[in-house]
Amino acid sequence: MKFVFEPDLAHQKAAIDAVVDLFAGQQERQSLFTIAPGQIAGELEYNEKLLGYANRFDLLPEQVLANLHAVQERNALPLSPELEVKGDKRSGEGDYGMDFTVEMETGTGKTYVYLRTIFELNRRYGFTKFVIVVPSVAIREGVKKTIQQTRDHFRQLYDGVPFESFVYDSSDLSRIIDFASSSSIRVMIATVQSLGSKAAVFQQAREQTRDIPGVEWVKSTRPILIVDEPQSTGRTADSAGRKIMRAMEPLATIGYSATHEFAFHPIYRLDAFDAHDRGLVKSIEVDGARIQDAENSPYVRLLEVEVRKGQLPRARIEIARQQAGSVSRRSVWVGDNDVLSDTHISGGRTIYNDYRIGIIQKMGRSAGTMQLMVPGHGVETLAVGESWGDVDQASLARAMIRQTIEHHFDKELRNGPLGIKTLSLFFVEAVKDYRLYDEQGNASPGPLAIAFEEEYAKLAALPKYQTLFSKVPANAATAHGGYFSQDKNGRFTEPSLNEAGELSNARSREEAERTFDLIMKDKEKLLDEAEPLRFLFSHSALREGWDNPNVFQICSLREMSSETRRRQSIGRGLRLCVDKHGQRRRDEGLNVLTVVAQESFSEYAEGLQREMEKELKVKLGLVTEDLFAGLTYPMPGGEVGTLKVRDSRAIFEGLLKAGLIEDNGKAKEELRTALATNTVPLPDDLPEEARKLVRERLTRITRKLPVRDARAKGQVKFNLAVLEGHDFQQLWKRISRKTTYRLKFDDAALVARCANALADMPRPGEARVTFELADMLIGREGVTGEKRSTSAPQRLVTAKLDLPDLLGELQNRTELPRKVIAEILVQSGRLEDATINPSAFVDAAAAIIQAGKRLMMTDGIVYKPLDDWWAQDLFREEEEVPLDRMVQVAHAPLDHIVTDSNIEAAIAQALDISGAIKVFAKLPQGFKVTTPLGTYNPDWAIVREYEDREDVYLVSESKGDLNTLREAEKAQIACGKAHFAALEVPFVTATNLDGILSQV
């Protein structure tokens, strides 16, 4: 099959026009020059001389600047103040003039755009000499492949205009002579390394080029330079790449990328947010792994190494730390010789006994190592990102592979009837994970290949997928393949890279080129249903330069420690899919890329947002001056309007002046209120359709604001008539005395109670992974995940370790004697469960024993009054209290009750209007009764009036449902009752006023 290219896509035509219109006013003609060394040109016969053809350019700088302003205005970009810019070399930009920037998101047809721009520039102005500079062999091969794919397409569009391209090869310099001497379109494609290295043949005089350096030939043609991914080609002022590009003295340089480092005269922008908003790329969903009950091993992960001046190196590690009542993963700083079982590191977990930190070393900006002294294993050296004692990675990888295959089969059921082949891509850490070789070079499947084939066979046998294999039986072995560098014998190899991440030697380059050629040739073949290959495994070869429109699943079987891997990985599958006829399909809901990740969807979203902010040099979630520039909206008559930079800045100024945003662009709560009431100030001349889009974008930004009530606040003041009155003074005198308590309980009763509770405890969970599927919403307001579904859990294998000291762990947590704990465990009959998940067992047992201990304490608790009282100044006036928490009252020491629930609000209103209540108070937070379960703060203190006897002073606890109280709540209430009994003050619990009155 052949890809069908669409000639009328609006975003691509706009990007092409942005470049072509820079040269408006240029006449269509070429310049001729003589190709010969200057010192002998006059001695050569005419027929020995060679004519060359160059791009001719006659426009004055002020004409180009006017054209540039027109293009920038049209595309809603800030206007460049001048054409020739003297840059600050310390910033890396240097000087620039005829340098222009086109920003296009991955998957939107960047290569097609600049190739077609070549034809348009030739048609309009007669330009014929172009050099495409790329940062890597992978991208070079991608460009070469696209030229092959589009040859017929461009031949039809441009009436068969002659066009030739070639890849610069230092062993065949004759192509440079043809480049210079041909009068038709010539395109040279070269990696920046091949042109700009110190030993580059391109800059040397050679016999093949008539003793003239190749760079001089190219310079004579005044080429237009097209730079693919300029941030990776060295466009800083003093880099080798920048120098060689300047040495070619191009007529103009146009950089194309999704992530520019330096934006030289921006002329077109289609960033990631625009591409997602317009549906020009696949939407993304993330199926993130959530691992549970896996803390039964001494887990340690090295997160970073830090060295400060005058201090020893230290390491930040993630560790399974004992928190209040549970174990969770937390990061802590450690130094040389620290013991991990220490309280300040792991919370005193005995599972880390004898684990000690060894030598910590810093190695580069973000790299480093740490020695971990492991009992029974010796010294383990961890690099940043590596871990010890985690869940078995092979087990987690298998679960992720299974999840990916399941998504793949589900998509095949949907895509097959539409004539769309489904592909999935796995990124792995190393070749050996997928393919193994013995000493004789014989290949065998690696662990990931074995796991894939086993999981594929299991899922393919399910009834719901049988229709997929009705014509061709399921064959796991032919369904997957590896896209790695290969040696001459076809064996997969690891490429040798230098410090810059480039292929470091001739052998690596040869192997990589062989592989890229194979991959690019297979690009269309992969889309043929007759080709059984559907699952691709790779690591570095597909890092950049390769993608396929029908990749619907990407599974990252490697750590996402690098802050560029998420965006780089998903870029391989962002293009809209094609059917068997090569036609791009835009059916609603069809173009969704599923990413199966090792991290949760929320962590993935946070990481992706960090990467996008770093690469795009933006801070998401802020209202910026150019936030609305480029927004397109429908106009009457079918035309499309575009918000200009000045429109966007007017909107920004209006929001700032109205106090709806802060100076740095952060949205205020007032903006959300203004949006809800449709009172956002917008320029009067802004069309309604544009207003709608602006409000929608602002609404998405305010979604991330913390939810709180934005209404006016109120004050709580003293009601002195009540506070200083006789009734309240008598009430306070009765209830404000403090107490102490003593406990009495029987060990045998405690053992029996805890053992019975432990016997009824659910079985500790085994380590498992659950995948949570969420839609990734990508916009200038940030990257957020909206969870859609959860998979069934899959069991994970964990390291088999010796049982920790159960008695020691439980003694540390419960403060009970070892003998008592041992009796509880034996009587419970649950000791065997400790071998399943020691950590979970200890957590559950400690919680149960603590609860039993507290309940036993409260059963026999006795309070005794002290000669100490709470001060009346616990009652205080308050400022800035939300109105929806305030209930105005007349019979309390404060003029408003600040409530925590609707139940409290209803009781406050009822108490205030009841004829049976003389005065009442909501007891302040500082009024706390001490109990074995911590402090306890009752709700109400009340003076009730009776006709036939003295006033009754009582304390009340108000609850929504007295039948659903937790054991701890019941125990605290019992302690409160015992405390007030010692003061001879009635204590009642109720859900409303009738309940309070009926109990006294």
Structure tokens, 536: 């691709």
CATH number of the domain that 56 lies in?
Answer: 3.40.50.300
Residue 285 lies in a domain: no
> Residue 710: which pLDDT band, with cuts at 50, 70 and 90?
very low
Residue 728 lies in a domain: yes
* pLDDT at residue 709, as a whole number: 44
Residues contacting residue 957 through CB under 8 Å, at least 6 positions apart: 938, 939, 940, 973, 976, 987, 988, 989, 990
> Residue 931: which pLDDT band, with cuts at 50, 70 and 90?
confident
Question: For residues 796 and 151, which has the higher predicted lDDT (pLDDT)?
Answer: 151
* pLDDT at residue 651, as a whole number: 94
8-state DSSP, 832: G
Question: For residues 514 and 992, which has the higher predicted lDDT (pLDDT)?
Answer: 992
Answer yes or no: is pLDDT of 490 > 70. no
> Residue 399: which pLDDT band, with cuts at 50, 70 and 90?
very high
Q: Are residues 594 and 667 in the same domain?
A: no
Q: Is 41 helix (H, G, I), strand (E, B) or coil?
A: helix
Identify the CA nearest to 96 among candidates 64, 138, 129.
64
Q: Are residues 32 and 161 in the same domain?
A: yes
Give start and end residues of each alpha helix (H) in 711-817: 720-723, 726-735, 747-759, 806-814
Least-confidence region, from 357-366, 407-416, 587-596 = 357-366
Identify the CA nearest to 446 among candidates 436, 457, 455.
436
Identify the CA nearest to 386 among candidates 468, 320, 464, 318.
318
Number of domains in the chain: 6
8-state DSSP, 622: B
CATH number of the domain that 896 lies in?
Answer: 3.40.1350
Q: Which of 702, 728, 754 is the C-terminal boundary of a domain?
A: 702
Segment 296-309 mean pLDDT: 86
Identify the CA nearest to 583 among candidates 549, 625, 538.
549
Q: Are residues 458 and 437 in the same domain?
A: yes
Say how many residues make up the chain.
1000
* pLDDT at residue 136, as a whole number: 83
* pLDDT at residue 44, as a whole number: 46
> How many Cα atoms occupy the beta-carbon half-sphere of 471 within 13 Å?
5
Least-confidence region, from 217-226, 228-237, 358-367, 974-983 = 228-237
Segment 158-183 mean pLDDT: 90
Could you tell me what percent of the chain has a pLDDT over 90? 41
Q: Are residues 39 and 182 in the same domain?
A: yes
Give me the residues paired with residue 319 across strands: 300, 330
Cβ pair 407, 415 in contact under 8 A: no
Q: Are residues 124 and 263 in the same domain?
A: yes
Residue 293 lies in a domain: no
Give me the residues paired with residue 779 across strands: 782
Q: Is 257 helix (H, G, I), strand (E, B) or coil?
A: strand
> How many Cα atoms occupy the beta-carbon half-sphere of 722 within 13 Å?
22
Question: For residues 164 and 508, which has the higher predicted lDDT (pLDDT)?
Answer: 164
Segment 575-585 mean pLDDT: 93
Burial 67-98 (b: 16+ CB within 10 A, else e): bbeebbebbbbbebeebeeeeeeeeebbebbb
Question: For residues 384 and 546, which has the higher predicted lDDT (pLDDT)?
Answer: 384
Segment 322-335 mean pLDDT: 81
Segment 212-219 mean pLDDT: 89
Segment 107-116 mean pLDDT: 95
Q: Which of 702, 725, 753 is the C-terminal boundary of a domain?
A: 702
Phi, psi of 888 (to 5 degrees): -75, 135
The counts of H helices and E strands in the chain are 28, 43
Segment 486-494 mean pLDDT: 67
Answer yes or no: is pLDDT of 506 > 80. no
pTM of structure: 0.71
Instruction: Give the span between the Cα atoms of 858 and 265, in whole angstroms.
Output: 76
> Residue 963: which pLDDT band, with cuts at 50, 70 and 90?
low
Cβ pair 735, 953 in contact under 8 A: yes
Over residues 655-707, the pLDDT tens digits come to 999 999 998 888 888 898 888 888 999 999 899 999 998 998 888 888 766 64
Instruction: Give the span between the Cα atoms of 192 and 242, in whole angstroms.
Output: 9
Instruction: Give the span between the Cα atoms of 881 and 887, in whole angstroms.
Output: 11
Instruction: Give the span between the Cα atoms of 813 and 383, in whole angstroms.
Output: 34
Q: What angle (nearest 5°) sits at the alpha carbon of residue 376, between those of residues 371 and 377?
A: 40
Over residues 641-658, the pLDDT tens digits come to 889 989 999 999 999 999
* pLDDT at residue 607, as a whole number: 84
Identify the CA nearest to 7 among candidates 177, 216, 215, 156.
156
> Residue 874: which pLDDT band, with cuts at 50, 70 and 90?
very high
Give start and end residues of each alpha helix (H) in 359-505: 393-415, 447-460, 476-479
* pLDDT at residue 534, as a whole number: 94
Q: Are residues 382 and 342 in the same domain?
A: yes
Over residues 26-70, the pLDDT tens digits come to 988 777 776 654 444 444 444 455 678 999 999 999 999 999 999
The DSSP element (H or E) to which 292 belongs, if any, is strand 283-292
Residue 6 lies in a domain: no
> Residue 724: which pLDDT band, with cuts at 50, 70 and 90?
very high
* pLDDT at residue 34, as a whole number: 67
Cβ pair 975, 932 in contact under 8 A: yes
Residue type at 682? L
> Residue 478: which pLDDT band, with cuts at 50, 70 and 90?
very high
Residue 626 lies in a domain: no
Answer yes or no: is pLDDT of 173 > 80. yes
For 450, other C-beta atoms within 10 Å of its C-beta total: 14
Q: Are residues 804 and 945 in the same domain?
A: no
DSSP-assigned states of every residue in 515-553: HHHHHHHHHHHTT-TTS---EEEESSTTSSS---TTEEE
Segment 10-14 mean pLDDT: 94
Rg, Å, the chain Cα set:
37
Which structural domain, as residue segments, surrounds residue 437? 394-616
Residue 909 lies in a domain: yes
Residue 828 lies in a domain: yes
Instruction: Give the span between the Cα atoms of 407 and 700, in whole angstroms.
Output: 30
CATH number of the domain that 506 lies in?
Answer: 3.40.50
Identify the CA nearest to 220 among candidates 183, 175, 255, 250.
250
Residue 764 lies in a domain: yes
* pLDDT at residue 792, as a whole number: 82
Question: For residues 843 and 545, which has the higher predicted lDDT (pLDDT)?
Answer: 843
Q: Which of 592, 616, 640 is the C-terminal boundary of a domain?
A: 616
Q: Are residues 228 and 324 in the same domain?
A: no
Q: Are residues 785 and 768 in the same domain?
A: yes
Q: Are residues 590 and 648 in the same domain?
A: no
Segment 947-972 mean pLDDT: 74
* pLDDT at residue 965, as a whole number: 67
Strands of 161-272 (E only): list them: 163-167, 185-191, 224-228, 252-257, 266-270
Q: Are residues 370 and 433 in the same domain?
A: no
Rounded to 10 deg, the angle between the 110-125 and 137-157 helix axes is: 50
> Whole-number mean pLDDT of the chain?
85
Strands 592-597 and 283-292: parallel
Strands of 459-523 (E only): list them: 480-483, 485-486, 492-493
Q: Are residues 124 and 255 in the same domain?
A: yes
Structure tokens, 801: 């370790």
Instruction: Give the span between the Cα atoms of 163 and 169, in whole angstroms.
Output: 19
* pLDDT at residue 460, as a whole number: 96
